[in-house]
Structures are given as C-alpha cells and as structure tokens.
Amino acid sequence: MAELALNATSTPQQARRLIRDGHWQQHTSGLAAGHAQANLVILPEAQADDFLRFCQANPKPCPVLDVTAPGDPYPRSLGDDIDLRYDLPTYRVYRDGKLSEERHDITDLWRDDFVAFSIGCSFSFEEALIAEGLEVRHISERRNVPMYRTNIPLIGSRLFGGEMVVSMRPFTAAQAIRAIQITSDMPRVHGAPIHLGDPAQIGISDLQQPDFGDSPVIHQGEIPVFWACGVTPQLALENAALPLVITHSPGHMLITDIPNHRFKFG
C-alpha cells in the first residue's frame, strides 16, 4: 500500500479500514473531520443493564449513542460496517478494576454476553464551537483538555456512582454565552455546560492543577466554563472494580459515520 496516512479529509470508512488492518494505532483526534467519534465501554451482560441505567440517569456525563445486543459487536446505528472487535486503534482491558493490558484487537477476548456502549464525546461539540468561530484554547495550544474531579454527585445505580468529572474551556463572557447556545443544541454529546465561573463552587480547589489532561491557559478576563466529561463513566467503572471491562484507550476513539451536525437535532 502506497499511502497509509489518515487525516481530517479521510472518510470514516477509510479510517476504520486502516485501523482494522493494523496500519493505524495512534490517536484519532482530527481524523475524518465532521464525523462523531465515540467512547467505548464493553461489559458482560451481567453488569451491562445496570450500567445502562446509570448512563440514562446521568445523561450529561454519559450520553449513550448506541448499545449493542448481547454478543453483537456491531453498533448498527453508528455505521454499516463497524466491528467493535477491531475498529478502534487501541483498547484497554481492565480486570478486577485494574488496567491489565492494552491491545489493538479484542477478537480473541470477545464473548457472546458482551454488551458494547458507544458514548458521545466532546470532539463533536468542540468542532461545532470552532465552526462558529470560537477558539477552543487547548486545541489552539495543542494541549490536552484539562479535566477535574468535582463534588457534583451522580445518581447512583446498584454498581455505579461517585462524582462527576468535568472538562474546562476558557472563554470571554460573550463567547461563553455563544458556547452555551451551541452546545445546548447537542445533548447527545454532553450538551450545555454544567457550571461556569468560580471553580470552588463545584469542589475544584486549583484550576491550574487538573486531575486529568494538561493545565489550562486562561487569558485575562476569561471565565472558565465546565462541561460534563466522558471520563465520568470511566472512573465509575474503575471504582466498581468489575471482573472484566474493555474500553477504548484515551484518545483512541471509535470513528462513526454520524455527521456531527446531526447532534444538533438531539
């Protein structure tokens, strides 16, 4: 093959084909622009129903885009030819709540009781913000988004619970109002912010010390704006210490066929 590089102009089908064939094992950030990427969580059916209830009760941090039938590796609502056993660049396997291994293919781990959750990702709304002319600071600074544990309680289920994790993007007041408008129209990819302004009000003691990601670059006069973050369900899963959970590796997402603008309609 002459050319094995992927970029923003690749189609989702092209991207998944190279990933599937083992030619792309890097981050998916910026690939197949305009198409939704998704977080992946795979659980045995024994815990999956409880996880689905947990997600439904906490839709802002855990916006479920697709749930497969037990044993079915195909998230049929997200594309015609997606196979969750090998269409992501890198997977993480957790055993008893601990990271056990990273893999590029989980075919030989697949079980006929596995249920796969595809969960909306902030990449979609960040693309919408940029399309409206807003600067998303961590992207222009080529850093990872800063993420923070908060004191905002989740609605617990039998197995899952804890507090919300948020991501933060700084904006001027006028930009923050516009960002609220834009993301309010995208409830399936975290929707509107859950807080803005004083970080202490949601239990964040130092904005410069995020719990995940890189420290923020905030300009004079900007307000921190906080969105519910997809790391929330990952932490809830780790805390539940289940026998076996498989997820995507951070940044190594599922590339779907869904145009991001479709989320503007809920």
180 near a second copy (CB under 8 A): yes
15-38 b/e with 16+ CB inside 10 Å = b? bbbbbbeeebeeebeebbeebbbb
Q: Considering the complex, what minimum distance in angstroms separates the CB of residue 120 from a second copy?
A: 19
**Member of 177, 209, 241, 243 binding a second copy (CB under 8 A):** 177
Q: Considering the complex, what minimum distance in angstroms separates the CB of residue 203 from a second copy?
A: 13
Let me know: does 52 contact 64? Beta carbons within 8 Å: yes
Phi, psi of 238 (to 5 degrees): -60, -45
174 near a second copy (CB under 8 A): yes
Q: Which of residues 208-247 bind a second copy (CB under 8 A)?
A: 221, 223
5 near a second copy (CB under 8 A): no
201 near a second copy (CB under 8 A): yes
188 near a second copy (CB under 8 A): no
E strands, the chain, in order: 35-44, 64-67, 91-95, 98-103, 114-120, 147-153, 163-171, 195-196, 223-228, 244-248, 254-259
Q: Considering the complex, what minimum distance in angstroms separates the CB of residue 7 from a second copy?
A: 35
Beta-bridge partners for 169: 225
Between 173 and 217, name the residue whose CB sits nearer to a second copy: 173
Between 60 and 248, name the residue whose CB sits nearer to a second copy: 60
* Residue that the structure tokens 């997820």 belong to: 247
38 near a second copy (CB under 8 A): no
Instruction: Supply the DSSP string of 164-223, one letter for each residue.
Output: EEEEEEEE-HHHHHHHHHHHHT-GGGT-S-SEES-GGGGT-S-TTS-SBSPPP---TT-E
Query: By rule CB under 8 A, what count of residues binds a second copy?
Result: 17
Which helix or strand (DSSP H or E) is residue 239 part of? helix 231-240
Taking contact as CB under 8 A, which single stretch among the options 120-128, 130-138, 143-151, 178-186 is the one that binds a second copy? 178-186
155 near a second copy (CB under 8 A): no
192 near a second copy (CB under 8 A): yes
Which residues lie closer than 8 Å to 71 by C-beta, 6 or more apart? Answer: 111, 112, 113, 114
**Member of 188, 195, 248, 252 binding a second copy (CB under 8 A):** 195
173 near a second copy (CB under 8 A): yes
Q: Considering the complex, what minimum distance in angstroms separates the CB of residue 2 from a second copy?
A: 49
Q: Considering the complex, what minimum distance in angstroms separates the CB of residue 5 from a second copy?
A: 41
Measure the CA–CA gap between 28 and 19, rounded to whole angstroms. 10
DSSP helix/strand/coil, 34: coil
Question: Which of 57, 11, 40 minimizes the C-alpha distance to 156?
Answer: 57
198 near a second copy (CB under 8 A): yes
193 near a second copy (CB under 8 A): yes
Q: Considering the complex, what minimum distance in angstroms separates the CB of residue 201 from a second copy?
A: 6
Which residues are near a second copy by CB under 8 A? 173-174, 176-177, 180-181, 184, 192-198, 201, 221, 223
